Structure 1
């Protein structure tokens, strides 16, 4: 293990957060009341990614009133982006396992216990995600199940199975457990994909570390006994948000596929990504011609295919900007 503290706890629950102070008390209450954890040594850490609301005050108040027999720690990560908040979480975590929970994702009462139990049965697992159910403020649109995975909803049945990283079928970071050793030994300290930033909507930051872990031959599992509930407000089902989400999820595709590609494979990946998604885009347009503007699900899918096609060109732009920045230095 490189550049890490000695790990001596069973699990660290890490909560990266940004401007969601109102969500944190309920999440902390859920964690405080976890069941079947009496035998565990664990902790909670909050990583505040430059919040401008009263997140720090809320956590200080929670620490003052804390009744748990495990610590609640707080850190502020000044480099903006969810990827950097997760990296800080890993650096600060004292657990052998790190259970990431988004600040709007509420765990079932036995989430922590089930996370640790899975580790005992699957020592080759580098990461595992569970069932994430939608907790909707308003009714989702018809046929929403076709795109629900883009909003971090995962309901893949009651049997554990391996994910398929080679085809980018992976668990989201909204409720994800990683083995600290697998992360620290393989995930770079400077991510390619940082997470949503002002003016930059590219997604994929939660998949990037998993692909490095997979590349090192660790397994990525689906654990159906871990349940959590993603709180989805009305505005996340509105057209503007959904289309920006679809585009952002598409724009990272080529970069993600390059992570596990050998150098000789990269030109092939580049061309297949562009041509394959151009074909999907045209097929979708023909299938939904005259309907896509009124069918938000079809429109979402078209925007995703467009973003995936453009991800090849976005990758060229990324490398050119990297080269130019190095020359300027």
Structure 2
């Protein structure tokens, strides 16, 4: 019986995976529980499969099992569903292929699960390793890159206000997932054609609906590797708008049917106000200040999100 699975959804991660696998193979404090690694190849077009096969061929016999599965449907949400179907453990952690865990990350994750049996999910601290220095005031938008540093005290997240841990480094209860998360997600995750986010928050909101707890564990540390390209203006502004476009979809998950028209209108008006106020404050800086530009894109995306929700709902019914 496997106690814990580390799932790694990856798309064209052949250059990133070896370092992550080495970090996992070097985990400490895992002697008292059994665990395995599952790489979910999300329709990669590079040699990801060959990299994993080579790693398996040279994998030490005393290390945890290293398994590989291919998921052809593009989008991290579909890779997670596949991981949940294949995992044999009650607890399944997810690590992005550009996230490197501290040596005791897995031990801390397992210990937290034993202490919090009512947790449906939990995440820890995600620190940034920037290839180049980010612009001033980047902390205002760092959450768009899944950076989370919420202090030294464990606490529950606030799903009602969409304050949740990102999937870059999460742990999920398989039972909470199987009992609540739809097999056909409306938010599939980033692809080559879309930067719409929210695919990681949606499962947590479904769990929250049946009173599963979502926690922050400060003793779990990982380091998100952020290359120069992730600070490119076009990339960041597109990502920021994608973070906004999912807002209405997420808000509707736990809304009653009668509440949805009011919520739709509220989101339109409140986010239009945010757009106007932000433009008034930063209108002379938006073209030169990357942080202000990203915030504007997020507010615009949030304003448009009710219409994106309608479009997605209509397409999903077909």
Task: Sort the TM-score into its range (normalised by shorter chain).
Answer: over 0.9
Indicate conservation of the 8 Å contact 2:134/2:231, yes or no.
yes
Question: Cα distance, 1:94 vs. partner?
Answer: 1.1
1:90 aligns with 2:121: no
Residues 301-327 of structure 1, C-alpha deviations (whole Å, 9 max, x = no match): 01000000000011112223334x2xx
Q: Say which SS state the counterpart of residue 95 (structure 1) adopts.
A: coil
Aligned to 2:57: 64
Q: How does 1:51-200 map to 2 (within 5 A)?
A: 51-67=44-60, 68-200=62-194
5+ long unaligned stretches in structure 1: 1-7
Distance 2:172 2:315 in 1: 32
Q: What's the offset of the Cα at 1:227? A: 0.1
Q: 1:211-240: per-residue Cα shift (whole Å, max 9, x none)?
A: 111111100000000000000000110100
Gaps of 5+ in 2: none
1:224 aligned residue (218, 224, 241): 218
Distance in 2, matches of 1:303 and 1:152, equals 17
Indicate the SS of the match to 1:155. Answer: coil
Q: 1:39-79 CA distances to partner (integer Å, 9 max, x unpaired)? A: 11110000001111110000001001101432100000011
Q: C-alpha distance in 2, partners of 1:145/1:319?
A: 34
The alpha-carbon deviation at position 200 of structure 1 amounts to: 2.0
Backbone CA RMSD of aligned residues: 0.8
Partners of 2:151 and 2:218 within 8 A in 1 = yes
Map of 1:12 onto structure 2: 5
Deviations, residues 89-132 of structure 1 (Å, cap 9, x unaligned): 00000111001000000000001100010011111111000000
Q: CA deviation at 1:34?
A: 0.2
Deviates more, 1:24-33 or 1:192-201: 192-201
Residue equivalent to 1:5: none
CA pair 39-322 structure 1, distance change in 2 beyond 3 A: closer
Decide which of 33, 38, 42 is 1:40's aligned counterpart.
33
Distance 1:27 1:94 in 2: 22
Report the TM-score, using the length of structure 1 for normalisation.
0.95
TM-score by length of 2: 0.98
CA separation in 1, counterparts of 2:224 and 2:195? 20
Following TM superposition, where does structure 1 have runs of at least 4 consecutive aligned residues deviating by more than 6 angstroms?
none
Number of aligned residue pairs: give it.
317
Q: Distance in 1 between matches of 2:185 and 2:316?
A: 13
